Amino acid sequence: MSQELHNALIRTRWQAWTFIAAFGALLLGFGVSNLVTLSDGGLVKTRANGWDDFTAGKPMRALAEDLRSTPLAEWLGQRQREIGWLAFNDTGPRVQQGCPGWLFLMDELKPHRNAAQNAEERLDIALKLHAALAARGSRLVVALVPDKTRIERDHLCDLPRPAALDTRYDQWVRGLASAGVTVVDLRTALAPVKQSQGAAFDRTDTHWSLAGAEAAASAVAAQLKAMGFAPASPTLIEHHPTDIRPRWGDLVRLAGLDGLPEAWRPAPDQVAGMHFSASAQKATEVSADALFGDAAHQRVALIGTSFSRNAHFADFLAAALASEVGNLARDGGGFAQSMSEFLEQEAQNEAPTPWIVWEMTERVLQEPLQDIDRALLASQVALSARHASLAQTPPAKACQTAAGGQGPLCVEKEGPEVSHARH
């Protein structure tokens, strides 16, 4: 603080003591907040790091990250972001405004060091997983979600998108397709929505709109059907919109503005509710394949990120397939979390999941790899070992009494494969 500023703020003794008391209270508040955090099991990164790499400053960086997440620091940070928005129309470092009313996640626009190498490593992981799953009898379809800043480029206004990112999507699609991995280019699916409705993403949200999610789900379902998916016992899933209500998306929360009165926040999206209802076939219409187990061979697992958990994407996919879809996606799951959890489950199952949709976002492709990304290779090895052990298992025979007392009907099983029923 310069002498001029000091003199302007503190002219009398009571002002000086007021300043000292306020500063002392702030320090005391930080101290109490840190003690509360520590007693509640906080300061996780600091305790996990210990004194490792002390000369490189790693303990202090870990402590700084932990201190930013203490209750008082979070409260002060929230107030700072709110004041920044109200006074300067500032949305903080992670969220930026494009055209009026349009918010964008800056993670999409961030160039990464060793971007090409990171993408190549992820591609190698995806190809090895595809091979391991195919060996078990699973069919994998990758659904690549393009950046919001790519699809809604006309709503960026003065917010620049680096030209280096222009080829990121195409390179990944070509890399998968050239190795025989089925990939759905969702740019094509979202284009008609963009053209007819002016946008395929919500203004205040990272994710696609209802119309965008439905179009993407329809494209993925069409690809599965083209590969031979057909539910043995179709389920009719109908949906219709309900009341339109204001909705503030996740970008308002990431900007730290969700605590403001509604009138002070960025303008909300107007989003319709959606009602889904399902009705299965009558028992008399159930096919023999459904009765004897081939229905299980039409199970669909949806693996991915928050895109699969928003705007009813999974519901739209189930409706388009006329089949239930097991949604294993995780919010903030990135490239690996949902797939990692799925592989752990799959390694414990004798029968493979026959259809797998792996939804992933464009923005994660070039990010630096994390331990969980590389751990997918270990999960792939465990899955391959499980498949090898099942291949050596003698065939099992499962029988049940046929209708009308005609004797047992049996199904022979060899590993994950199931033959047709016979007397």
What residues act catalytically? 205, 207, 306
Count of Cβ atoms closer than 10 Å to residue 399 Cβ: 12
Reported as half-sphere exposure (CB side, CA atoms, 13 A), residue 163 has a value of 0
Cα diameter, the chain: 104
Question: Rounded distance, CA 213 to CA 205, Å?
Answer: 13
- CB within 8 A of 161, min separation 6: which ones? 108, 109, 149, 150, 153
What per-residue string of b and e applies to 272-295 under the rule 16 or more CB within 10 Å gives b? eebeeeeeebeeeeeeebbbbbbb
Residue 111: strand pairing partners: none
> What gap in Å lies between CA 197 and CA 184, rounded to an integer?
22
Report the C-alpha gap between 295 and 286 in whole angstroms. Answer: 10
Query: How far is Cα 85 from Cα 82, in angstroms, rounded to an integer?
Result: 5
